[in-house]
Structure 1
C-alpha cells in the first residue's frame, strides 16, 4: 500500500483520521497473520469477505485494544490492502499477543500450513477443515501452543495434513516430496522444527547424547525464553514463574525423550528420502509412532548393509595411493582397516540367533521361547525345576547356587533371599546375561562369574585362536544375552565404509562374510586390508579354498601384532607381519595409520550407555545414522586440511575400476 492510497482511504472513511498510524500498521500486520483463519471459511478466495469471522474479529479487538466497532471500520477500509499484500513473519510481541488473546478463540499465529496449498488457486478446492490444538517446539521461540488444520479434497479423496496426505480408502501416510519440511509432525499433538531435530543429531554425533538428554537440553535451554535468567534466579534476583497459558494448555510444553527420538528418526527418514528423490510412506492406522516407523526403519537398515553408506566410494590421498612404475604405467594401492567393538544390545540367548526379541525384556526370541523351560547350563536339554533356572543335576544346581551367592554383589544375595521366601523377584528378567563357569574337578570351589557383555573380544587368544591354559568347564547362562560386538571397516583416513552386528562371537567366518558384503566385487577389494586377526582370516580362506581376497594383502595392525601374535608362528610372521608389506612401509615410517579403527572405536564406544537398552531395529538405524553424519564431518575436515592432491583423473588411470570419488 502506498501513502497516497492511505490518504485516499482516510478521505473516503473519515473515521480513520482519528486512529494512530502505528495502530493502522499493527492492524495490517495482525490481519495478515490471521488471513489463513479467514480464508478457511471462504469458497472464493479472490476477494476478502465484507465481515470478519467472529473469532478473528474478537481476537483483533483484544490484541489491538480497540473496540469492536473500530476493528470493523479498519477491516472495511483496509481489507483490500490485507488481501493483496504478501505474508509477514510474526515478531516475538505478536506471538505473545496470539498466546494471550488467541488461544481461547482457537486462533494462533499460523505456523503449520498445508504443504499442498496452492497460492495461484482462486477457488477453495480443499474443505471440511478439522482443527485441533498441539504444541510446537521451535529453535528460537521456545515451546509454542498452536492449532493445526487438515483439509479434505472431494476430487482426489484425500485428507491433507501438515506433512502428509491420507487416501480416503487407504491406510497409508504419504509424505510430500521435495526438501524435508521445516516443521515435522512427530505425533498427533506434537510438532518439532527441523532445526531442533538437526541440533539433536549434532548433539548425538559429537556429544553422545541420548534422546532423553536431548529432550532435557531442549527443556532447560530452549523451551523457555531467557533461559539464563530462568535457570539462575538467584544470580539475576528474580522469581521463576510459569506463564498462565502453559498451565492451561492441554499438551505439555516439556519435550519427552520419546518425542525427541521419534522426531529424530522421522526427520532422518525424510532426509534420506529427499536425498534419493523419493517419498516416505508410513502406515496410518498404528497404535504408536514407534510401530508406525518400524517398517521404514527396517527398509533403510537393509539398504545400509554392505555398500549402503554414502561415503563407501570415498578415496583421498590418505587411503588411496597412486604410484607410477618404471615403465610409465600406474598402479593403485587402496587400504582398508577392520576391527570389532564390544558394545551391544539385548538379543536372543540362543547362540548366534538373529531374530529380534519381541520385547527388550525378553531372554528368548519368539522362535526359541520354548527354551525358557530348559536348564540354564549350556548343552543341557533337561527341564528346569520350579524356582530354579537349572535342572536337578547336582553339578548344575551347584553352579546356580554359586551364582546366587554374594560375590561382592548384594543384589544377588538379596534376590536369593526373596526366592527362598517364595516371593517373586521384581525386575529379575531384566538382568544382563552372566556366564557362570565351574571346573569339573571342583565345581563348588572354583566357580567363576563373568559378565558376558564386557568380555574382551580376543585378548586371551593366540595365533591359533585358542585360549592358553583352558580347562573343561560347565557353563550356565543367566539373564539376558547381548550381541557380541560391532564389526566395522574403515579407511585409514577415518571414513567408515560399513558396520555389522556380530551376535555369537567374533567368528572368522562372520568377519569374512562382512568383508565380502563391504567389497561385493573383485575390483572393489582393497590391495591391503588390516585386521587384528588376519592370520586366522587367511587360514580360514585357505582351508575353504576361497580365493576372493587373493589379490589383497592381509597384514595385522602394528599394535596387535606386537602384543598378541606369537613370534614362533612362522606362517603368521611370513604372511601377516606388517613390516613385510612394502606398501605399508616408507623407510622407517608407516604409510598409513593401521590403528584407525581403534581410534574410531573410542568415538563409537561413547554410545554404549545410550544403546544398551535400545530395540534392535532402532539400534541398527541409530548407529548407521551416526556413522553417516560423522563421515560427513570427517570428509569436510579432510578437505579443509588439503588431503586431496590428485591431478590425474582416476577414471583415466583405471577405467575398469569402480567409480571412485576423489576429494
Structure 2
C-alpha cells in the first residue's frame, strides 16, 4: 500500500484524520487477526464484506482503544481490499493478548476454530495456550454437521474425518492442539524419553503462557509489558491446562463415551496392522544392510542381514504362564479367564486355596514367604522415612507402609522347605506381585532401521522367536541371507527338530560378542552352524560386513522408555512403542541419506510375488 493510497482514502473518508499512522498500522494488523472470523460470515470468501460484523467492529475498536465504531467501519471501507488480499500477519504475544482481551468479551477469539458456540482451549507451539471459541456448521441440504476435523450425518453415529492432517487437531471435546506442537511432543519422546506427563508439565511451566521469560524477570523489561495480567485472568471459564490424557488422536464413534473409550478399538486395529510387516520402513534397504556383489560366473547376487534381540521392557499381564489375554484392569493380576487363580496359594508349586486374609494357604513354610514379602515393604518404608528426616526428597507415594504392595512389579520370593522329601530339600517359589511380559523383541537391519517389534509373554523361547521371524519375513523372497541372534544355535536346533524349513536358506550366525561370552566350545552344533567365522562371506578385508552388535546399541535407546510405558494399558503401550520406532526409523533413514548411503525401499511385489 502506497502513500498515495492512504492520501486517497483520507480524501474519501475525512473521519480517518482522527487516526495517526501508528493507529492505522495497528488497525491493519488487528484486522488481519480477525480475517478468519470475518470470512466465516461470508457466502463468497473471495471478496471482503462491505461492512464489518458488529462484534468484529467492537473487538477492533476495543483493541485500538477507540470509542467510535464509525471510525473502525470507515477504516474497513478504505482498506478492506488490502487486508483481504494479503496473508495474515505474524502476531506478537502482546498483540494476541490485546486482541483476545477484547475478542473474548464479544464471543470470538484469535484463532477462532470453525467447522452452538463453545469454550475451548487451543494449545499452540509459539503462542502458548489460547482461549478460543469453536463453531460447527450444519447443512440443511445434506443433513451433516461440520466440525473442525470431522463431520457427522444427522442419522449416523459415526464421525467421518476429513482427508490429510489438519493444522489443528481436536484431541478432546474442548481441547485442540496444533499439529506442529504434537510433532514437538513426539520428537521429545523419541530422542529424549520424555513421558506424556512430563511434556504436560514442561508445556504448562514453560510454553503455555506467552513470554514466560518476561514474567519471570520483570525488572529487566518495561513496566507496562511485564505487568500484563496472565491469560487466565481474562479467560474465566476456560481450562488452559494441558493434561496427559488430552493428547489423543482422531476417533470414529460419535456418542457419549469418553475420548479414551472411543480410541480403544481404533488403536487396537492399528496395532494389529503394525505386526509383522506393518512398519513403513519394513522394506528398507541401503548399502549398509543390502550388499550386491558378483559371483564367479558374473551373476549379480545380494546379501542382506537381519538382527534380533530382546529388551526387558514389558507391560502387566496375566500371572498364568504365557497367557496373552488382556487384563480387565491394570490393577488385576489375572485375566478374566484365569480370575479364579486369585484364590490359589501364591506359592507356584502349591494348588491349595488361600486362607482368608492371606495370599498363601495354611502351610507354615508358605506363610513364612508371605511374611517375608510384606516385611520387605515395611522395611523399605522405614528406610525412606529415615531419608526424609535427613532432609532428602522422597516421593510422597512411597511414604505409607504397605501402600500399593499388591501392585509391585513381578517379585519371586524364594525359601527352603524345612521338611525333607525323598528327593531332598525343595526350594519354594512364590509370586506375590503383578506379573509383566518377559521382553520386547526387535528385528532390525544392520544400519539401525527397526523392521518389527513383538511382545514375548512367558519367556524368550526359541519357538516364539521363530514364529516372530516368520511373521516378519512371511515369504521366501523376503527372508534375509543372514539372521543374527544370540541364541541361534538353539533356534537352528528347534527348526531342525520341528522340520521347519521357512528359513532354510538363511545363515544363522551368533553375533561375535555373545559367541565369545555365552557359547561353549564343546557345543558342536553351535560351533558347526552358528560360529560367525564359519561364514566367510560376512568378512571383507578382515572386517565384518555388517554391524552384528546393532541390536545391543539400539537397545540403549529402546530401554529408555521402560519408565514411561511400565503402567500403560496394553493397547496404548503397543501403539506408543510402534510410534516411537516409526519416528526413529524416519530419522535414521534421513541420516543415512545425508551420509550418502542411498536408502531405498524394495518394491513389495518383489517380496510378495504371489500377490502380483
> What's the TM-score once normalised by structure 2's chain length?
0.87
Is the aligned partner of 1:349 residue 2:319? Answer: yes
For residues 569-617 of structure 1, give each alpha carbon's deviation from its aligned partner in whole angstroms, at most 9, with x where no partner exists: 1111111111111122235322221111011001100111111111111
- Counterpart check, 1:532 vs 2:486: yes
Distance 1:412 1:433, change over 3 A: farther
Q: Which residue of 1 aligns with 2:171?
A: 186
Q: Does the 8 Å contact 1:404/1:412 carry over to 2?
A: no
**Contact 1:309–1:628 (Cα < 8 Å) also in 2:** yes
Q: Which moved more, 1:471-480 or 1:296-305?
A: 471-480
2:475, 2:608 within 8 Å by CA — same for their partners in 1? Answer: no
> Of the candidates 237, 242, 251, which is equivalent to residue 238 of structure 2?
251
Structure 1 gap ranges (5+): 115-129, 267-279, 415-422, 444-469
Question: Is residue 370 from structure 1 mapped to residue 340 from structure 2 by the alignment?
Answer: yes
Structure 2 residue aligned with 1:480: 434
Q: 1:547 aligns with which of 496, 501, 511?
A: 501
| 2:188 maps to 1:209 | no
Q: Does 1:158 align with 2:174?
A: no
Which residue, out of 347, 352, 371, partners 1:382?
352
Alignment correspondent of 1:313: 283
* CA deviation after TM superposition for structure 1 residue 50, in Å: 6.9
Which whole-Å CA distance do the structure 1 matches of 2:57 and 2:480 have between them?
A: 71
In the alignment, what sits opposite 1:63? 63
Alignment partner of 1:520 is 2:474: yes
**Mapping 1:289-438, distance limit 5 Å:** 289-406=259-376, 409-411=379-381, 426-438=403-415
Q: Distance in 2 between matches of 1:529 and 1:435?
A: 34
Residues 192 and 11 of structure 1: CA distance in aligned 2, closer, same or farther (over 3 Å): same
Equivalence for 1:510 = 464
Structure-1 separation of matches of 2:48 and 2:377: 80
1:300/1:237 CA distance change after superposition, 3 Å: same
Q: Report deviation, 1:550.
A: 1.0
Q: CA deviation at 1:363?
A: 1.2
Cα distance between partner residues in 2 of 1:234 and 1:82: 40
Partner of 1:448: none
Report the 3-state secondary structure (helix = DSSP H, G, I; strand = E; otherwise coil) of the residue aligned with 1:338: strand
* 235-244 vs 334-343, which moves further: 235-244
Residue 405 of structure 1, CA deviation: 3.4
Match of 1:632 among 582, 586, 589: 586
1:40–1:548: structure 2 CA closer, same or farther, 3 Å change rule? closer
Residue 221 of structure 1 deviates from its aligned partner by 2.8
How far, CA to CA, are the matches of 1:234 and 1:33 in structure 2? 30
8 Å Cα contact 2:316/2:435 also seen in 1: yes
Output the CA distance in 2 between the equivalents of 1:442 and 1:162: 72
Equivalent residue number for residue 95 of structure 1: 96
SS in 1 for 2:517: helix
Structure 1 residue matching 2:584: 3-state secondary structure: helix
Deviation at 1:400, TM superposition (A): 2.0
Per-residue deviation, residues 185-225 of structure 1 (Å, max 9, x unmatched): 11122211111110111111111110112122222332233
Q: Structure 1 residues 354, 235: CA separation in 2 closer, same or farther (over 3 Å shift)?
A: farther
Between the aligned partners of 1:317 and 1:305, the Cα distance in structure 2 is 26
Q: 1:29 & 1:478 partners in 2: Cα distance?
A: 66
Q: Which residue of 2 aligns with 1:273?
A: none
Of the structure 1 ranges 389-398 and 302-311, higher mean CA displacement relative to structure 2 is found in: 389-398
Q: Relative to 1, partners in 2 of residues 1:560 and 1:39: Cα closer, same or farther, differing over 3 Å?
A: closer
After superposition, the Cα gap between the structure-2 partners of 1:607 and 1:76, relative to the gap in structure 1 and judged at 3 Å, is closer
Deviation, 1:31, is 4.0
Q: How far, CA to CA, are the matches of 2:22 and 2:227 in structure 1?
A: 32
Q: How many residues align?
A: 588
After alignment, is 69-78 or 483-492 more displaced?
A: 69-78
Q: How far off is 1:181 after superposition?
A: 0.9
CA distance in 2, matches of 1:324, 1:217: 55
Unaligned runs of 5+ in 2: 385-399
Deviations 1:530-563 (A, max 9, x none): 1111111111111111111111111111111111
Q: 1:402 to 1:330 in 2, by over 3 A?
A: same
SS at match of 1:102: helix
From 599, 609, 620, the equivalent of 2:574 is 620
Query: Residue 126 of structure 2: which of 131, 140, 148 is its match?
Result: 140
Cα shift at 1:413: 11
Q: Secondary structure at the match of 1:299?
A: helix
Distance 1:602 1:48, change over 3 A: closer
CA contact (8 A) 2:37 2:112 kept: no
| Structure 1 residues 370 and 83: alpha-carbon distance in aligned structure 2, compared to 1, 3 A threshold | same
Moved more, 569-578 or 387-396: 387-396
Distance change >3 Å, CA 504–CA 240, structure 1 → 2: farther
TM-score by length of 1: 0.81
TM-aligned CA deviation for residue 234 of structure 1: 8.3
How far the C-alpha of 1:401 sits from its partner, in A, is: 2.7
Residues 205 and 630, structure 1, Cα contact 8 Å, conserved in 2: yes
* Aligned equivalents of 1:430, 1:198: Cα separation in 2: 34
Cα distance in 2, alignment partners of residues 517 and 12 from structure 1: 76
Change in 2 beyond 3 A, CA 1:47/1:141: closer
Q: Which residue of 2 aligns with 1:198?
A: 183
CA contact (8 A) 2:409 2:434 kept: yes
| Cα distance, 1:290 vs structure 2 | 1.6
For residues 382 and 409 of structure 2, the distance between their equivalents in structure 1, rounded to whole angstroms, comes to 12
Partner SS state of residue 252, structure 2: strand
Asked whether the 8 Å contact 1:404–1:413 carries over to 2, the reply is no
For 2:87 and 2:588, how far apart are their aligned partners in 1? 40
Relative to structure 1, is the Cα distance of residues 46 and 300 closer, same or farther in structure 2, using a 3 angstrom cutoff? closer
- In structure 2, do the counterparts of structure 1 residues 9 and 366 end up closer, same or farther at CA, with 3 Å as the change threshold? same
Partner of 2:389: none
When the two chains are superposed, the root-mean-square deviation of aligned CA atoms in Å is 3.3
SS at 1:354 equivalent: coil
